[in-house]
Amino acid sequence: MIDVHDDVWLDVLAGRVIPTQLPDQSRAIALEAAALREFIRQQEEVAYLDSPMIDAEREVELVARARREGLLVSRAAGARTRLGARQFGLAAAAVLVVAVGVGVWRASLSPSAVVRGVDHGTVYLEARDPTALKRQLTEELSAAGVKVSVYERLGRLGIDADLPQPLPTEVAKILERHHIPIPSDGALVVEIEARTPQ
């Protein structure tokens, strides 16, 4: 904790108060601070007077020594370093653009589905977006000439279709792309529910 004498001492040392303006009980402390202030001021003047003048030859010698010691890089090497850093920055930006592009491309693909099993001829799927997957399967199968019926049962969206026999290659590719096993009797029944978060 700073007391009154400390405040006086600091004020005199900073030059904010003159010792002769203080009461007698603080004057001894103030004179001590004034003496220290004067000593410090004399040291600054001596240090300034002893400092050498600017010496261009000495500066050139110091810069050359720093380059020899590897502390300074020549201008040409500095330009190469900046060029390398710029090329690295461009490469990093290109990688970022590719990563974002791949992410956007993957997001535009079909809603990812996971086959959860087959029970009594019904294929059970889980998908991020069951409605989008049902729509996509319906459109793809219809475009391949398959008559598709859609339904909803117990919170699951369903597709029911009679596949032509023999199975056309185009329909087989659609089922394969969605990881749906080909039914042996030609009766395709798929039920889709929302994927539970992991």
Q: How many domains does the chain have?
A: 3
185 — pLDDT class (breaks 50, 70, 90): confident
**Residues 86, 137 share a domain:** no
Does the pTM of the predicted model rise above 0.85?
A: no
pLDDT at 148 over 70: yes
Interval 53-103: pLDDT, tens: 677 788 888 888 888 887 876 665 655 666 666 777 777 777 788 777 766
**Residues 91, 77 share a domain:** yes
- Of 184, 191, 180, the closest CA to residue 122 belongs to 191
**Rounded Cα gap, residues 120 and 99, in angstroms:** 42
Q: Which amino acid is present at 11? A: D
pLDDT of residue 106: 55
Interval 10-19: pLDDT, tens: 888 888 877 7
Distances (CA, A) of 174 to 11, 41, 120: 89, 91, 22
Interval 122-132: pLDDT, tens: 888 888 888 88
* Residue 50 or residue 19, greater confidence: 19
Distances (CA, A) of 185 to 115, 120, 158, 163, 177: 20, 12, 18, 9, 20
Mean pLDDT of the chain: 77
Lowest-pLDDT range, 12-26, 35-49, 120-134? 35-49
pLDDT of residue 170: 92
If you average pLDDT over residues 99-124, what whole number do you get? Answer: 65
**Residues 60, 131 share a domain:** no
* Residue 151: domain span: 113-194
**Residues 183, 140 share a domain:** yes
**Residues 161, 119 share a domain:** yes
Share of the chain above pLDDT 70, in %: 76
**Residues 186, 126 share a domain:** yes
pLDDT of residue 109: 46
